[in-house]
Amino acid sequence: MNRETLTLNVPADLGGKRLDQVVSILCPQHSRARLQTWIRAGRISVDGRNLRQRDILQGGEIITVNVEHDTSEASWSRDALPLDILHADESLLIINKPAGLVVHPGAGNPDHTLLNALLYHYPELENVPRAGIFQRLDKDTSGLMVIARTPEAHTALVEQMRQRAITREYQAVVAGRLTAGGTVDAPVGRHPVNRKQMAVIAGGRAAVTHYRVIKRYPVHSHILCRLETGRTHQIRVHMAHIRHPVIGDPVYGGRPRFPRQVSEELREILATFPRQALHASRLELAHPDSGATMSWESPLPEDIRSLLTALDAEENRDG
Handedness of CA 166, 304, 256, 251 (dihedral sign): negative
Sorted by sequence, the CB contacts under 8 Å of residue 280 that are 6+ apart come out as: 97, 137, 141, 142, 143, 144, 145, 168, 169, 170, 298
Neighbours of 142 (CB within 10 A): 25
Closest CA to 24 of 16, 9, 15, 34: 34
Do 128 and 149 touch, CB atoms closer than 8 A? yes
Is residue 248 a contact partner of residue 137, using CB atoms and an 8 Å limit?
no
Nearest one of 123, 139, 140, 132 to 94, comparing CA atoms: 132
- Distance in angstroms (rounded) separating the CA atoms of residues 71 and 130: 10
Which residues are catalytically annotated?
138
Q: Are 67 and 6 in contact (CB under 8 A)?
A: yes
